[in-house]
Amino acid sequence: DAGVIQSPRHEVTEMGQEVTLRCKPISGHDYLFWYRQTMMRGLELLIYFNNNVPIDDSGMPEDRFSAKMPNASFSTLKIQPSEPRDSAVYFCASSPPNRGNGYTFGSGTRLTVV
Amino acid sequence: KQEVTQIPAALSVPEGENLVLNCSFTDSAIYNLQWFRQDPGKGLTSLLLIQSSQREQTSGRLNASLDKSSGRSTLYIAASQPGDSATYLCAVQGAQKLVFGQGTRLTINP
């Protein structure tokens, strides 16, 4: 398995632009998570899905953030409009149905909003 | 709300030493605890996963222990090498949520 695949690896955008981050989870994993990592706050859970359904989005910072999972093999995290304080590394992770088997993380997307 | 604390925040030791990284958590109702390694500018690599019913796990020079009742875990690294330099993150899994500590930045000096 190729693991959790995220794209793009790096994104530089201007303030006010729309940004879309993409994630392909490991096949057979039915949980998908989006995390954000910053120096100040560390790793924070933004939202997670189970069987393509959003279960907990309490970590989504504002209405400018939205996430979708249209099928079991694809998820997006969208920021519209983007702001400089959104600059961070965004990680996607997936885990199998048997809770307790741990999470696998993607390589992350480093977002810079100028 | 689960809170995870890692001590120390940074550690620098000479090559060859054995060392211990500490992790504590406030809510003992966990499914498992996972230790990750993160190299600068890179993603998270899972090192060890300890199920809530287990006391420890070993992989090569790494040994992780779990004491759920006291809310503590340790990561023991034997015979440290410069390649072990990285940030080590402890994460506890509750009801599908993985909560992370702030990490310990480890530097092994040749």
For B55-85, the pLDDT digits (tens) are 999 999 999 999 999 999 999 999 999 999 9
Question: Looking at residues A86-109, what average pLDDT do you find?
Answer: 89
Find the length of chain A. Answer: 114
Closest CA to A55 of A25, A34, A29: A34
Question: Looking at residues A6-32, what average pLDDT do you find?
Answer: 96
Of A31, A43, A108, the CB nearest to B96: A31
Tell me, what's the pLDDT at B97? 79
Q: Where are the beta strands (DSSP E) in chain B?
A: 4-7, 10-14, 19-25, 32-38, 44-51, 56-59, 62-67, 72-77, 86-93, 98-100, 104-109
Lowest mean pLDDT among A94-98, B4-8, B10-14, B53-57: A94-98
Tell me, what's the pLDDT at B94? 83
Question: Looking at residues A7-25, what average pLDDT do you find?
Answer: 97
Find the length of chain B. Answer: 110
Contacts of A111 (CB under 8 A, 6+ apart): A11, A13, A19, A21, A79, A82, A86, A87, A88, A89, A90
Q: Does B104 touch chain A (CB under 8 A)?
A: no
**Contact residues on chain B for A108, CB-CB shorter than 8 A:** 42-43
Chain B interface mutation, best of A91, A105, A111, highest count of B Cβ atoms under 10 Å: A105
Lowest mean pLDDT among A59-73, B73-87, B94-108: B94-108
Tell me, what's the pLDDT at A72? 95
**Rounded distance, CA B1 to CA B37, Å?**
24
Burial pattern B1-20, b for ≥16 Cβ within 10 A else e, equals: ebebebeeeebeeeeeeebe
φ, ψ dihedrals at A85, nearest 5°: -70, -5
Residue A39: C-alpha distances to residues A36, A42, B18, B43 (Å): 10, 6, 28, 14
The side-by-side arrangement of strands in the sheet containing B62-67 is: B4-7, B19-25, B72-77, B62-67, B56-59
Q: Does A9 touch chain B (CB under 8 A)?
A: no
Tell me, what's the pLDDT at B41? 85
